[in-house]
Chain A
Amino acid sequence: DAEITQSPRHKITETGRQVTLACHQTWNHNNMFWYRQDLGHGLRLIHYSYGVQDTNKGEVSDGYSVSRSNTEDLPLTLESAASSQTSVYFCASSGGSTSGSIASTDTQYFGPGTRLTVL
């Protein structure tokens, strides 16, 4: 079965360190998204990509970057981790497959999340 996975599931790091969170999907979806979830704020979009070599900033992109070198992966990098980036991070994917089969283009499928703590 197709799925979307995230690693690690839990991460503790120190302020100032670079951290990369992995996201891998086997849906063959074109679109991928990164969100953070914080109490009182719901889900906020960090970055998103509509295909290989395409990346776009979301509403809370400062301090984060992404790159899309293939269809399956969209790693999220925190360039210099800050305590304000302690959060739960979710990756999601959606959209028609690159093989051309028809799928619902706006329904997003979520990974299990990564809990990041910055000390």
Chain B
Amino acid sequence: GNSVTQMEGPVTLSEEAFLTINCTYTATGYPSLFWYVQYPGEGLQLLLKATKADDKGSNKGFEATYRKETTSFHLEKGSVQVSDSAVYFCAASGGSNYKLTFGKGTLLTVNP
């Protein structure tokens, strides 16, 4: 089955710093790749997705590019804000079975 590995946190940054959260996957076939964000006390929200190699997903200043050659989907943001403090999950689809495989999550804290 699929597996997703993302960098362990916690990650602590100062406001306006550059963010990278690494994510790699193993999968049969060509999964769709996702980043979800979970704010304190809430459910997961889709942040961005990419469905094929070299696709770039982007939303709210966050970006991630589907790299088939390195099986990676790293999340980046050029200038983080305090409001970006949350847990970030990388996920890969299972193809025809509609299931998602999640990484264990990375806690990001941004200090003013």
Contact = CB atoms under 8 A, between A and B. Distances in A.
Contacts, number: 42
**B34, B100, B104, most chain A CB atoms within 10 A:** B100
A48 B103 CA distance: 19
Interface stretch (B15-23, B38-46, B61-69, B72-80): B38-46
Contact of B44 (A50, A94, A105, A110): A110
The 7 closest A-B pairs by CB, nearest first: A42-B104, A110-B43, A106-B93, A110-B44, A43-B102, A112-B43, A31-B98
Nearest to B102: A43
A35 to B, nearest CB: 8
B52 interface: no
Counting chain B residues whose Cβ lies within 8 A of the other chain, the interface size class is: 10 to 19
A104 to B, nearest CB: 8
Interface of A: 31, 33, 40-43, 45, 48, 50, 90, 92, 94-95, 105-113
A110 B34 CA distance: 14
A48 B99 contact: yes
A95 B100 CA distance: 12
22 contacts: A31-B98, A33-B99, A40-B104, A41-B104, A42-B103, A42-B105, A43-B44, A43-B105, A48-B99, A90-B43, A90-B44, A92-B44, A95-B98, A106-B32, A106-B98, A106-B100, A107-B46, A107-B49, A109-B46, A112-B43, A113-B42, A113-B43
